[in-house]
Every structure is written in C-alpha cells, then in structure tokens.
Chains A and B, each alone.
Chain A
C-alpha cells in the first residue's frame, strides 16, 4: 500500500501508451478512459476526493462521451487496432519496455528520486493551527477559484467558448 501511488502512476503511463501508439481513435479512447480512472485514483490518494470525482464526472462522463460520439461519426473502413499494424504494435512494445526499465531503475537504484523527489509530496488536507482544525486545501482551492480566481474563470470560460466557435468555423468548409 506504500507504493500505491507509484503503481497507479505506472498504470497511468501504460494507459497513455494505449493511445499514443496511434491506433484508431475509438481504441485510443479506451486508453484515455483507463488513464482517467487511474488518474482519479492518484488524485484521491492525496486526499483530493472532490477533484478525483470531478475527473470521472466531467472528464470521462462529459468530454469522453462527446469524443466517443464524434469518433463514432468518423469511423473508417479498416480501423487500426494495436496488433493490426507493425508500427502501432512496435510503438506499444517500445513504450512498455521503456516503462519497465524506468520502473526497475526507480525501484532498484535510485530509491524514488527521478527529476523530483516522490517521497515527501504532502497532502491536500492541512492539519494546521487554524481556528477550526483541519483545512481541506483542495475544496478551499476550488471555491477560491470563484473569488480570487475570477479572472481565470473569465479567461477559461472565454477560451472554451472561442474553442467551440473555432471548431465550428473550421469544420464548416466552403
């Protein structure tokens, strides 16, 4: 259980390999769903329960559904699975081998310090000397997005709106 975050992050990378080896988008969606679920688990291991459930609800339940419908509209006659094309299979195998080598390196030689330290990352819940005991920084962070982060809300909302306008413009054709 000590290594649960490490195991989940390895599964996260393997899920990414599922779509970055470039099969057809329908099959790539499987990799995204696995990675999304595992990412939720990683976030929850740092006491981020709200944000983890946000991943499932908004990311997988909103964006992935839309992605699934659009790729279903754009199917091709002979879609690429991971084993149908030597390039895709080769990419997948190379990625898996690299990930296994990295896991061996991290667990064996370096004891968990690749680029940054993974051993002391801390939690979101802060057992601080505040007036009311515990502070769940994750929930406080989401709520302060609407007060201190009002400019960020405006910018991201505008960006999402412009994203839809741009996509409509591009796919409109002549």
Chain B
C-alpha cells in the first residue's frame, strides 16, 4: 500500500479506538467505532483475492450491524434520560442493547460466527490487529457501563463463549482459526469477570493481548498458518520451539506461567461472590482450550516427524523478517506470575 495512505489509515484506526475510550458523549463513541471499522477494512484487505474480500465483507457487515445496535442503545438512553453523557448510569433497556452490540463487536457467542472466518481469510499481521487492538474499544465501553449491565445477559454470553471457544477449536488445524476460537473463549472469561470485578477483566485483557501478540508474532516469523508447517519449526528456528511451547501453555492457563494469573484472579472474584458452579464450568471448558494448545505443542516442540538425514538441518541464513519485540513479549507472556502480589495496589 502507498505509505502515505497506510499512515493515514493506521492513524485513523488508533484515533478511532482512542476516541471511543476517552469520549464523554455517546455520539462521539459511536463515531469512534465507525472510524475504527472504516479504517481497518483496507488493512484486512492486504491481498486482493476473493477470500480476503469475503472476510472483509463479513467483518464489515457484522460490525456495522453492531454499530447500529449501539446507536439504538444510545437513542433509547437519550429518550429515557434526556442526556448524552457517558458518565451517568445507563437506562436498563439501553444497557441490554448496548451489551449485545458490544458482544457482536467482540465476537462473543452467539455472535461469534464471523471470528474464525474473518481470521482465516486475512494475513497474519492483519489477524494480529483484529484479535488484539480491535478488542480494546468494546471492552472499554463494557468497562464504562459495567455497573448497569444486566447480569443474566452477560453471564449467558460468557458461558456460551467459553463453551463455543473450547469446542469450536477442537477440530481445527489452521492456526488462525485456532487463535480465533481462543479469542472467543478469552472474551468469555473477560465478560464473566466484568460482572464482578471490572479490574480483573482489564487484567485478563492485558494478559490476553500480550499472549496473543507473542503467539502471532512467532507464527509470523515463520509465516506458518497450519499445524503442519508449524511442526517444521524445529528445522527452521529451533529456539522458537521452546518459546512456542511456553507461550501456548501460558495461553491455555497453566500455573507457573502468566496465563494462569487472570484465570486465578477471575475465579477468586467469582467465588468471593458466592458463585461456585460458574467458575467450575468455565475451568472445565478451559481444559478444551488447553487440549488444542497441547496438540500444537505436541506436534511442534515435543515430537519430530520422521525425516531423512539430509533434511535434519537447514542452512541457517540471516533472518530477513523483523520480529518486533519478540524476546520481551515472550518474557512477559510466561514469567509475570510472581508479580501477582502487586495486584494489591489495585484495591
């Protein structure tokens, strides 16, 4: 893409999210969402083939519908309260409609059908922006309206998302679809936390963004999009197999790694509020997620497929691909669990 146009479009994506996060007028929030959606379409369409055009169309249709639901919620709030301020509590009807709009934007079940298909049709770098940056704006709106969210609605969305994210990813070999279902499941955990402690939802969002960025940058490093090509990593960059192992297990939520921190905090907040069945169900569904991450690590790091001896080591050339911040990201995505006592500062 022309660099000048790319700068303008990237700036608008960032500006749209910032406007959503910092506006005190609901109309500006809606404008921010529209700017964000409009500007990310050419980023999703880096390659001009019918597959990516179909993915962009699906993304555009669902996000536009969600923006219209948001506008409906804003109008209902305006009619019932007479003002446009985001600082005041939302009218209950407006809150339900706005929660549904944000659920469509995030890809929560039952509005999750676009996430795997859009993630599969676009480049890995576009998928990175889709799964990380695009979650910031809707989560900030959910955070702002969290005092007035209908608990039944959001916990239903959350349970469905965790279940769909677990079961949907089981039969996948394409890495982008696996990351999409991982995103759905993590969004389910975040919205469950939003009900009881919005701060833990933000913690989960932060850790999830770090983990997903790490995983996708590692995939981008070798341009792998299938499990099969990921299983050749031992031949191309052997050091990466360890990093993929650690990051994927962290994404699954295993204890000494970072990914355990948000799950632990969320379960703690839920049980503090006398919810036992919900976290039990969510943890059991998270085992499904862990299973397909384990399958990836099994084929990548823990086993090597049989090959002839002259293929055992590739000629190690200088790498051309720039992997942005990969070492700090790997450290952040595996080693921040000992920092968990610092959460006491949030009280």
**Assuming A152-B28, A159-B38, is B19 touching A169 (CB within 8 A)?**
no
Q: Is B73 an interface residue (CB 8 A)?
A: no
A165–B42 Cα distance when bound, in Å, is 10
A170–B42 Cα distance when bound, in Å, is 6
A163–B1 Cα distance when bound, in Å, is 16
Q: Is A156 an interface residue (CB 8 A)?
A: yes
- Contact partner of A162 (CB less than 8 A), chosen from B1, B39, B45, B79, is B39
In the assembled complex, the CB of A126 is this many whole angstroms from the nearest CB of chain B, namely 15
B41:A155 contact, CB within 8 angstroms: no
Secondary structure class of chain A's binding surface, majority of residues: helix
B contact residues around A166 at 8 Å (CB): 9, 38-39, 41-42
Secondary structure class of chain B's binding surface, majority of residues: helix
**Interface mask (A44-60 → B, CB under 8 Å = 1, otherwise 0):** 00000000000000000
A85–B111 Cα distance when bound, in Å, is 30
A159–B45 Cα distance when bound, in Å, is 19
Q: Is A132 an interface residue (CB 8 A)?
A: no
A contact residues around B1 at 8 Å (CB): 169
A152–B35 Cα distance when bound, in Å, is 13
A159–B8 Cα distance when bound, in Å, is 11
A170:B45 contact, CB within 8 angstroms: yes
B35:A169 contact, CB within 8 angstroms: no
A162:B8 contact, CB within 8 angstroms: yes
In the assembled complex, the CB of B37 is this many whole angstroms from the nearest CB of chain A, namely 10
A contact residues around B342 at 8 Å (CB): none
A155:B19 contact, CB within 8 angstroms: yes
B contact residues around A114 at 8 Å (CB): none
**Interface mask (A140-162 → B, CB under 8 Å = 1, otherwise 0):** 00000000000110011011001
Give the residues from 1 to 37 in chain B that come closer than 8 angstroms, CB to CB, to chain A.
1-2, 5, 8-9, 12, 15, 19, 27-28, 31, 34-35
B contact residues around A155 at 8 Å (CB): 19, 28, 31, 35
**Assuming A116-B79, A152-B28, A174-B48, is B12 touching A158 (CB within 8 A)?**
yes
B contact residues around A174 at 8 Å (CB): 48
A contact residues around B31 at 8 Å (CB): 152, 155-156, 159
A contact residues around B39 at 8 Å (CB): 162, 166
In the assembled complex, the CB of B148 is this many whole angstroms from the nearest CB of chain A, namely 19
Seen from chain B, the residues whose Cβ lies within 8 Å of a Cβ on chain A are 1-2, 5, 8-9, 12, 15, 19, 27-28, 31, 34-35, 38-39, 41-42, 45, 48, 56, 79
- Other A-B pairs beyond A151-B28, A169-B42, A170-B42, 10, CB < 8 Å: A152-B31, A155-B19, A158-B12, A159-B34, A165-B8, A166-B41, A168-B5, A169-B9, A170-B45, A174-B48
Seen from chain A, the residues whose Cβ lies within 8 Å of a Cβ on chain B are 116, 151-152, 155-156, 158-159, 162-163, 165-166, 168-170, 173-174
* 7 sample A-B contacts, Cβ–Cβ < 8 Å, listed by A number: A156-B31, A158-B12, A162-B35, A163-B38, A166-B42, A170-B42, A174-B48
